[in-house]
Structure 1
């Protein structure tokens, strides 16, 4: 079978398997095969993998915070559920989530996930470019990017200047806003060139994606990014705000593209909870107990044993000691396992 020919990179593990389309005998491009009659059923799946060490580190970080990992979701898939509707998915759309370390791309066509890719450039790279190119501190570079940055140098004012205070008595440094925009545009153009390349790889150019490109993530708040995206890719572009699923009276901060992934993960968790609840209700029937079979609660008068304060402290101290010893022992074995790997 073809599934045995699937190549999984060494050191990776499967995060998710998403069905794209099914075939039943001679019938092709079936989104849902339930109800079809036939002899042979086939399917195409989109397999998402991730680095085992990265996944292990994420799980351990979550566990150390006192929580438990329920599932792993690819970032653009989480963001898409927060900023897009079913109409967008059917029309054909590419979501570009510009984060700090990476830019994630997910392409949907006719309601089916066609392609995903992680581009190893993001907002952090732009900040480092500004820091290196202008000779400023990283905090200053980030602040300039947020306040004065533009993805198009032609839109920047030629005579506008940013004054940076000098270090330890050195004179202030003046930086042209247009020079800042040139640095930002160079990196953003590179990211959009990657997006265009991957869209052409899957054969979905500007004639296929009627929904265009949806920009989200913290990097999507950059000025004139829509114009640069449309110029580079030839597709219509818009900013994706995660406000479709927010209740009235929500905090305005949550409607920013920065929180698209976070809200998408919450929606995913809620969807899974509702699905499990409905499955439980269909499999289990609630039975009402007749009144005549209900037993009255009997409260027995039992002698109470009063524990002295020294005994209580001793028992609590012993419990805390064994608890800390157990956690330390588990962490020790985990660290040895990591070194072995």
Structure 2
């Protein structure tokens, strides 16, 4: 989660998801409750008229479908929707594996969250082929002072931190078109999220993820 999304989450218990699909546009409104659970308040659906194979093909028609779905969700939830978490998918999505290294130089041998954030931030500086943009940087496994297989290094003693990352990217023009649709709908993007990743957060627990469960997200235009 980026810093902007985290700030919005702290200030507002309401969270809104927007799925721009090939056959339908779906808006869900929820309220964050105790235990970090989400109470569903409303759902809005509209036929998708401007999306082809997960990619925006007609901005005006897509905006119309978004506004229709938002209106239905607002009526059900009694929430004035201004900020949305937007799903992204499509055949333009790519992923690569990359390894990063960070050596602490602050004189403290305890690994803190800022060290991990710096390592992740460095991954966003990778040079991709022209026309591509990084969407997510997902840490998979850490190595601390040559000790591999570490899932959670924060709090451990160590100075050299290495990590394997799964880096997800998308085509810049397609990302811009999604953001333009949101902007033209008088909405603000809190975070852009890969749709299969969002689905995994919704239906899989940590044990299932660590065991290597395969999640297949079958949509009207793409299967991820």
**TM-score relative to the length of structure 2:** 0.43
Instruction: Please identify which structure carries the higher strand content.
Output: 2
Instruction: Tell me: higher relative CO, structure 1 or 2? Use CA pairs within 8 A at least 6 residues apart.
Output: 2
Between Structure 1 and Structure 2, the one with more helix by share is 1
Max Rg structure? 1
